[in-house]
Structure 1
């Protein structure tokens, strides 16, 4: 049959004219039956034709999304490693659907489409990478936490070489540990603090200079710094002390300020001895300008009246415990001592605007030194009143302490030949006060000199074995007190 006959109207008689709707020339060709000049179906056979390329949707911007409570870990990981594109299966389905809508013919002769590979391997690698990251973060965080809260550096052994460390008032254990670390004694403050956590002696450590070794373990450093010999440069000056040594009955020597300073300066740092001799200290006091050393202005003129220049600081040193740094020069040591003493004397209530009745500050200091050497603390106020009454009534003080000061002896008794010797400190032979203080006065003695107890006493004598004195306003009362003291074996 000719091609046109396939499109003829089956109900039309052959004698009838043809329907123009079915004219061969006017009928459009079915594209499915087009000749070779028509474009072929991309899905048809023939692998030499280029395949259509999928158009990837634009990659979404990177966004950090915090995890929310209740999210499933697997869902989080899927989100973490999603590449922003639809799954292969979904994309293939959409691709097929598009072409099925355009071409609805049968293509039995077309070869089956090969399945596309899925991203299973990529996802597996993503899971492994995620697990590795989690493990590394967990291990790193645990190590950081351990190091931060429990870990610390520490040396081994008892150390070598010398290190001098100063502990100041109010320093905590951590503060001391930090100083030891800076000085190279311990490797870390934590090593020291950890080792001393149960050491009660460490909590009672006092301010001062401590000699330790470098590169010590924390435990060895705690043991060393709490040992009796660790502290160096400790200078303790007690009330009643004078600059020169005192020889007691029986030959025992009580060290004076010069000797105490010399002993406090001694230490051995890396094989070097830091001791200052008494002679060096004595010469420094004699040659120095007292104002430069830190002495108060109101004491300069009176101090120059001392028997010798090396005793000009008598009475100007306050009692207390001082820290002497081993290695200081004599000038550095004495200057530090005098400046701190000046502040302590002022704090005790003595100064240009606060003196004893009718006295200058320096005269008040002299009275305080006499009170210190003549009585015990409970009697300070009365002894001070006796001195003021005698001075106002122009009665010789007749104090054994002033006589024995020149002789470097104790103050209990004097011999007749000693009392007969001339000299500015012999208050049996002279009226008024001695030219300078004769000892280190305490704050209580200074207070008594500034504010003497009210009374009319002009005599006193030690009448009890505990050191208390008996006071009298008349000579007869005084003789009775002396007899009482003799009966008690005191006088």
Structure 2
């Protein structure tokens, strides 16, 4: 074998060896980059734009692994294993049991700090709960009661057109020009999501509090974009329908059946004739609507005007939103709720009147005696 041939073979062997190691190095670098990116992502906040507090209870004696498991299930951290290794790497210990309010926007360091200091919800400076079925005035009173802002300040800000225009620009998928319809009583009615809100800073700006409630509604409705398209509903129409269901439903009521009644009446171009819209038009809370109430001249009076009212009459929870998107398939055109909370459905006016006589008229007649 010639020396030239041997040198060429050796060169090729070395080249293959070099290429192998280069390829191996490239694979290792790529894997390291993937692992690094995965770890980096796992340590990031779940949702930097979501400041809505979530109630999290850490039982006594919880290990770091258990705390990570709880936080991941609550949607506060991305990965419980990453949380566990991160606190080991940082040497963090001394986590305290308690009930906390954490937000998906919080960093791991902020969460760890609160757990170490025991900054549970008892130490939050502003904490309030907005239940389902609350109207804008009631929400304004709740915010005022639990924050440094008086009622008039809160109410005026909720109806400030310049502020509302800012919100429309920031949340265009949720807040549309529909809320500026002159027939709409209050533009933000129905848009402040029912949830718990907590703030450790006693000077949290009022705009931040209001925007957090709007942002929560925006996030919730974003989950139903496809369903809204199927039903041909805008966010405003969905919130309006859901508010009617929310106001009519009792604890015993099947919201999907109530929803079916509303949709069936709309399909037949019948007025919805739902009492809560009359009370909303009257600015009153009453246990019973009487005949003279039905004469109120308001676009919200669904006894006088067909179709949906101009806007929501309260806020709504998930169950009412989903009922508005997925009504039960029925032939019912009427329903009534009894004083005991039971709900009865009817396909004809005659049947409805019989139920009304049996469960409503007789009840109030007996009360008078």
Match of 1:263 in 2: 145
CA distance in 2 between partners of 1:174 and 1:277 (Å): 43
CA distance in 1 between partners of 2:296 and 2:285 (Å): 17
Structure 1 residue 363 corresponds to structure 2 residue 245? no
What do residues 410-440 of structure 1 show as CA deviations (whole Å, max 9, x unaligned)?
Answer: 3642232221121111111111111010001
Secondary structure at 2:280 match in 1? helix
Q: What is the alpha-carbon root mean square deviation over aligned residues?
A: 3.5
Structure 1 residue 482 corresponds to structure 2 residue 356? yes
TM-score, reference length from structure 1: 0.49
Match of 1:133 in 2: none
CA distance in 1 between partners of 2:351 and 2:300 (Å): 27
Structure 1 residue 204 corresponds to structure 2 residue 99? yes
5+ residue gaps, structure 1 = 1-166, 177-189, 197-201, 209-220, 245-255, 266-274
TM-score, reference length from structure 2: 0.63
Structure 1 residue 401 corresponds to structure 2 residue 276? yes
Q: How many residues align?
A: 269
Shift of 1:319: 1.2
Match of 1:330 in 2: 206
Match of 1:471 in 2: 345
Structure 1 residue 340 corresponds to structure 2 residue 216? yes
Shift of 1:281: 2.0
Shift of 1:391: 0.9
Match of 1:280 in 2: 153
Q: How does 1:224-235 map to 2 (within 5 A)?
A: 230-235=123-128
Q: Are the equivalent residues in 1 in contact too, given 2:157–2:163 (CA < 8 A)?
A: no
What do residues 1-44 of structure 1 show as CA deviations (whole Å, max 9, x unaligned)?
Answer: xxxxxxxxxxxxxxxxxxxxxxxxxxxxxxxxxxxxxxxxxxxx
Secondary structure at 1:461 match in 2? strand
What do residues 185-208 of structure 1 show as CA deviations (whole Å, max 9, x unaligned)?
Answer: xxxxx9x949x6xxxxx3334448
CA distance in 2 between partners of 1:235 and 1:327 (Å): 15
Structure with the bigger RCO (C-alpha within 8 Å, sep 6+) is 2
Q: Are the equivalent residues in 1 in contact too, given 2:192–2:210 (CA < 8 A)?
A: no
CA distance in 2 between partners of 1:171 and 1:398 (Å): 44
Match of 2:292 in 1: 417
What do residues 286-332 of structure 1 show as CA deviations (whole Å, max 9, x unaligned)?
Answer: 233436334443532111126577x2111112211112442122222
Q: How does 1:16-415 map to 2 (within 5 A)?
A: 193=94, 202-207=97-102, 230-244=123-137, 256-265=138-147, 275-285=148-158, 286-290=160-164, 292-293=166-167, 294-305=170-181, 311-324=186-199, 325-347=201-223, 349=224, 351=225, 354-355=228-229, 357-376=231-250, 378-410=253-285, 412-415=287-290
CA distance in 1 between partners of 2:163 and 2:352 (Å): 46
What do residues 227-260 of structure 1 show as CA deviations (whole Å, max 9, x unaligned)?
Answer: x85332112111110001xxxxxxxxxxx11111
Secondary structure at 2:132 match in 1? coil
**Cα separation, partners in 2 of 1:474 and 1:203, compared to 1, 3 Å:** same
What do residues 382-427 of structure 1 show as CA deviations (whole Å, max 9, x unaligned)?
Answer: 1111111111111111111001113332364223222112111111
**Cα separation, partners in 2 of 1:295 and 1:281, compared to 1, 3 Å:** farther
Greater fraction of residues in helix: 2
Shift of 1:174: 10
Shift of 1:355: 4.7
**Cα separation, partners in 2 of 1:340 and 1:446, compared to 1, 3 Å:** same
Say which of 308, 313, 325 aligns to 1:433: 308
Q: Are the equivalent residues in 1 in contact too, given 2:239–2:312 (CA < 8 A)?
A: yes
CA distance in 2 between partners of 1:314 and 1:263 (Å): 19
Q: Are the equivalent residues in 2 in contact too, given 1:386–1:457 (CA < 8 A)?
A: yes
**Cα separation, partners in 2 of 1:297 and 1:289, compared to 1, 3 Å:** farther
Q: Which has the larger radius of gyration?
A: 1
**Cα separation, partners in 2 of 1:333 and 1:460, compared to 1, 3 Å:** same
5+ residue gaps, structure 2 = 1-52, 68-90, 104-116
CA distance in 2 between partners of 1:420 and 1:369 (Å): 22
**Cα separation, partners in 2 of 1:402 and 1:171, compared to 1, 3 Å:** closer
